[in-house]
Structure 1
Amino acid sequence: MKKLISFDEVSKKIAHKTILNKISFDLYEGQILGLLGHNGAGKSTIINLLLGADNYTGVINVMGKTPYKDRQIIMQDLAYLSDAECLPKWMKVRDIIKYMKGVHPKFSEENAVSYLNKTDINLTTKIAELSKGMTMQLHLSLIMATNCKILILDEPTLGLDLMYRHEFYQLVQEWFNESGRSILITSHEINELENFITDVVFIKNGFVTTRSSLENIISEYCKCKVEVSHFEKLKKFNPYILESNNRENIILIKKEFLDEVESIETIIPNISEIFLAHQKGA
């Protein structure tokens, strides 16, 4: 696989506070990478550095270029979408399509219209008249029509209802399935990413704590229901308690210690449970 983004020992300080501490990770062609961390972990700073918005120490490589120096070149093949509504509300949909054709060298009007035809958006409608969900669909369609190689999604479904979140991921997945593309996404809705991402990077207090494929990290853990009396014997294996009552604990534990567990029931964990355990230090 071709490497599209590389962070190598990247650090960032603001005043005397360290925001990122020698972080390293890669994004390859054909990957959908979930960048997951608590508020203030450093996710937004990573995105800002990718967009060339700030300086840093270490090495960041985006398609062979340096974001801080080569931003204009990089942005021809990299696109960014957040939950913020930044489209000019006074324009009609067809007008913003024409505008994009004039300002982006790789924008395809035909592709933009094709993506929008999969939604309920009318080309003659003013952007101000669109719902938040429709505005996000429009913004996404415009970005995908730039034929970028890398798409950065920053909390893209924040504030959207279930239907629009589902339609959003459907549109993105169809675009991604065309060859040679990659996605980096941050989201607080970690459960909805499980059927979307291929890889994860966990960020905690400015450090990268985990880099893994989704398949590998889920295969490392087991979710077990154990009696409270048995839990004391397992503490040396650093399990994480997901749920608890007077009789039973539901714990997350590494599979390598599974032979030590007298389990009432064993379940495959989801990525949000594993993420929570990592953030809590399990």
Structure 2
Amino acid sequence: MMNLIEAKNLTLRYGKKTALNDVSVAVPKGRVVGLLGHNGAGKTSLMKALVGLLPVQGELTVLGLQPTRDRQQLLEQLSYIPDVAVLPRWARVHELITLMSRLQPKFSAERARALLRRTSVGEGDKVKSLSKGMVAQTHLALIAAIDAKLMILDEPTLGLDVVSRKSFYEMLIDEWCDGERSVLISTHQVEEVEALLSDVVMLDEGRVALSISLEDIDRRFVALNHDPAAADAMAAAHPLLRYREQGRTTALFDGAPPEHVASLGQRVRPSLVDLFMALTRNPALNGKQA
């Protein structure tokens, strides 16, 4: 089965800065993949490479096409909302539907109207009269009305309140994900998307720190919740991370901890946030510019 995204050993540099460093990622069909990383980790650079906006070294195919060479053909088969996505403030929603019908051969105006009926956005509304959450829902309705195999979203809910973010992701999962299409979502809101994801890719300073399905996270990583008396033994076993949870300390291990340590704690499920903290470095904490 062909992967919708096949990236091998991708490297991208801006002068002396390396944005992507030997990045390899594969996305099969029917997956919802979270792309996680701190500011400057390379998320946006990777997404721009996937849609042909940035040339990269290495091997890259998206939907069986080479993004920079076959960009026009590629954009007919995927949907993309960049991190700086805007809709023209002067336009009415029905005008945007008409514009999309003329620009994108696989766009369905009927489908867009059906998706908008899930929201409080009216076709006669002007974009400038809509809240940020309503603009995001309108944008998603327009993009999701394209008969595409792959959707790429770069921080799609940035700046939205929690209710608007929830509505956005509910529409995405309910109306677009069908087991055949795949979505790649870049976000900082790890806790909110964890329940939606089938896979996660974590970038750390341009490198892949982790690429794994959520099912395999439970098999590979072990988190032990333990009493203070076991703290020294846990620390001596060199866990990836130790953190406080529900008044007790939890130690996170990559793989099975030593048997004598495993018996000192209660196994709990590690969250994506825990893994993210353990496997990536926050540039802001290291005195670097984000």
TM-score of the superposed pair, with normalisation by structure 1? 0.92
Provide the C-alpha distance between the structure 1 equivalents of 2:245 and 2:115, rounded to a whole number of angstroms.
Answer: 47
Indicate the RMSD between aligned Cα atoms, in angstroms.
Answer: 2.1
Provide the C-alpha distance between the structure 1 equivalents of 2:245 and 2:165, rounded to a whole number of angstroms.
Answer: 32
> CA offsets per residue over residues 14-42 of structure 1, 9 Å max, x none?
11222211111101110111111111111
Aligned to 1:231: 231
Provide the C-alpha distance between the structure 2 equivalents of 1:189 and 1:159, rounded to a whole number of angstroms.
Answer: 11
Aligned to 2:271: 270
Q: Structure 1 regions of 5+ residues with no counterpart?
A: none
Aligned to 1:250: 250
Q: Is the 8 A contact 2:4 2:29 kept in 1?
A: yes
- Write the letter of the residue equivalent to 2:61: N
Provide the C-alpha distance between the structure 1 equivalents of 2:84 and 2:268, rounded to a whole number of angstroms.
Answer: 38
Pair 1:8 & 2:14 matched: no
Identity between Structure 1 and Structure 2 (%): 33
Pair 1:170 & 2:170 matched: yes
Shift of residue 229, structure 1, vs aligned partner: 4.2
> CA offsets per residue over residues 219-278 of structure 1, 9 Å max, x none?
322333323442222334321111289x95332224511633354543222111112111
| Number of corresponding residues | 280
Shift of residue 123, structure 1, vs aligned partner: 0.8
Aligned to 2:95: 95
Provide the C-alpha distance between the structure 2 equivalents of 1:17 and 1:210, rounded to a whole number of angstroms.
Answer: 22
TM-score of the superposed pair, with normalisation by structure 2? 0.90
Match runs of 1:177-216 below 5 Å? 177-216=177-216
Q: Is the 8 A contact 2:244 2:250 kept in 1?
A: yes
Provide the C-alpha distance between the structure 2 equivalents of 1:150 and 1:278, rounded to a whole number of angstroms.
Answer: 28
Q: Structure 2 regions of 5+ residues with no counterpart?
A: 283-290
Aligned to 1:71: 71
> CA offsets per residue over residues 134-172 of structure 1, 9 Å max, x none?
000000000011111110111111111122111111111
Shift of residue 83, structure 1, vs aligned partner: 4.8
Shift of residue 54, structure 1, vs aligned partner: 1.6
Q: Is the 8 A contact 1:89 1:126 kept in 2?
A: yes
> CA, structure 1 residues 162+248, in 2 after alignment: closer, same or farther (shift >3 Å)?
closer
> CA, structure 1 residues 71+154, in 2 after alignment: closer, same or farther (shift >3 Å)?
same
> CA, structure 1 residues 258+198, in 2 after alignment: closer, same or farther (shift >3 Å)?
farther
Provide the C-alpha distance between the structure 1 equivalents of 2:93 and 2:211, rounded to a whole number of angstroms.
Answer: 40
Question: Secondary structure in 2 aligned to 1:163?
Answer: helix
Question: Secondary structure in 2 aligned to 1:69?
Answer: coil
Provide the C-alpha distance between the structure 1 equivalents of 2:236 and 2:220, rounded to a whole number of angstroms.
Answer: 18
Provide the C-alpha distance between the structure 2 equivalents of 1:268 and 1:169, rounded to a whole number of angstroms.
Answer: 24
Q: Is the 8 A contact 1:218 1:270 kept in 2?
A: no
* Range with bigger deviation, 33-42 or 229-238: 229-238
Question: Secondary structure in 1 aligned to 2:61?
Answer: strand
Pair 1:27 & 2:48 matched: no
- Write the letter of the residue equivalent to 1:207: R
> CA, structure 1 residues 248+86, in 2 after alignment: closer, same or farther (shift >3 Å)?
closer
> CA, structure 1 residues 251+151, in 2 after alignment: closer, same or farther (shift >3 Å)?
same
Provide the C-alpha distance between the structure 1 equivalents of 2:86 and 2:77, rounded to a whole number of angstroms.
Answer: 20
- Write the letter of the residue equivalent to 2:242: I
- Write the letter of the residue equivalent to 1:47: M
* Range with bigger deviation, 109-118 or 235-244: 235-244
Q: Is the 8 A contact 1:176 1:182 kept in 2?
A: no
Pair 1:48 & 2:77 matched: no
